Amino acid sequence: MTSPLDGLAVDNPVLAAPMAGGPSTPALVVAAARANGLGFLAGGYKTADALAEQIAEVRRHDIAFGVNLFAPNPLPVDPEAFRRYAAAIAPEARVYELDIQAAEIVEDNDHWSDKIDLLLSAPVPVVSFTFAIPDTAVIASLRAAGTLVVQTVTSPAEARLAADAGADVLAVQASAAGGHSGTLTPERVPASVPLTDLLGQIREAVSLPLVAAGGLATPAGVAEALRAGAEAVMVGTVLLRADEAGTSLPHKAALADPKRRRTVVTRAFTGRPARALANRFTDHYSGLAPSGYPALHHLTRPMRQAAAAAGDPERINLWAGTGYRQATAEPAAQILRRLASHV
């Protein structure tokens, strides 16, 4: 099978995953290219103008790169459940003099149309989607503009839907991945299926090229995923402490803290399943959090921002996959080259 990387002059099959909320920076994308790989700007939580600025910064380096968007897949919150949860976590926000019980329910689409217009007016080499599969017309328009379209999937059923919608490549995300699950059905936590098994299941379901993601943090793990049928792999957690990453200082410190011994899948921060290092907030509120994205994301965001600024790791979302112990503080290009060393 022809690799999706062939047309992009990418020799390193270890790609830098998009990580919204700060970690994915233009510098990290450029570093991935310098390692003969490919990096993704994270369009999630940005306005179209802010994304355009980052794209312009990367374009100055004349490299191949990708952009990731959150495709709208609203999970409306029950208003009564929202109010109960706001009351439950209010003491955590009051530490930073925030009154989140007064917060309104915000249900938005993350500037979706504006970002699609941007990517059609000034096409980029690769666009990936997570959370939902865009309309076939959107995918067709991007492909007609010369953009390679990558769709995140977490099951064979999702893979078939993505193939039918016209995606060029599938990013196969296993449950070991850090941050949000790309599941199309966020009201249910995805089954815990090993990445190599998931690749095999999806390879039987569709014939599209596959990029493996989720828990990959060692050269041996990368080589195993490639042997299992992936044309490339995508890593995120292992780059969170990289020199070029925009990860907050308390998040970086938590990844290196030997006392942090487990990750959990939680809705506590955003109302959507996501894997993070366990902390005070996940321990106390995971069992109370209702489904509801993006409403819970907007509810907890002011608290998380204040906690990050204060260096408080117990009230921020410490997104991390199961390979977090392998995250190192060094140049990203060194990390990516090392991960490809057994290929």
Residues 206-256: pLDDT tens digits? 999 999 999 999 999 999 999 999 999 999 999 999 999 999 999 999 999
Mean pLDDT of the chain: 96
45: left (phi over 0), alpha (psi -120 to 50) or beta: left
Strand order in the sheet with 263-266: 179-180, 274-277, 263-266
d(CA 66, CA 69): 10
Q: Indicate the DSSP class of residue 23.
A: T
The tokens for 24 are: 């994915």
Complete DSSP assignment for 13-66:
-EEE---TTTT--HHHHHHHHHTTS-BEEE-TT--HHHHHHHHHHHHTT----E
**pTM for this prediction:** 0.96
Q: Is residue 30 classed as helix, strand or coil in its secondary structure?
A: helix
Query: Smallest Cα–Cα separation from 176: which of 263, 286, 291, 269?
Result: 263
The tokens for 55 are: 């794209």
pLDDT at 9: 82
pLDDT at 190: 87
Q: Which residues pair with 5 in a beta bridge?
A: none
Q: Which residues have CB under 8 Å from 113's CB, separation 6+? A: none
Which residues of the chain fall below pLDDT 70?
A: 1-2
pLDDT at 1: 55
pLDDT at 229: 94
pLDDT at 2: 63
pLDDT at 7: 82
The number of angstroms, rounded, from the C-alpha of 212 to the middle of its chain's C-alpha atoms is: 13
First to last CA, the chain: 17
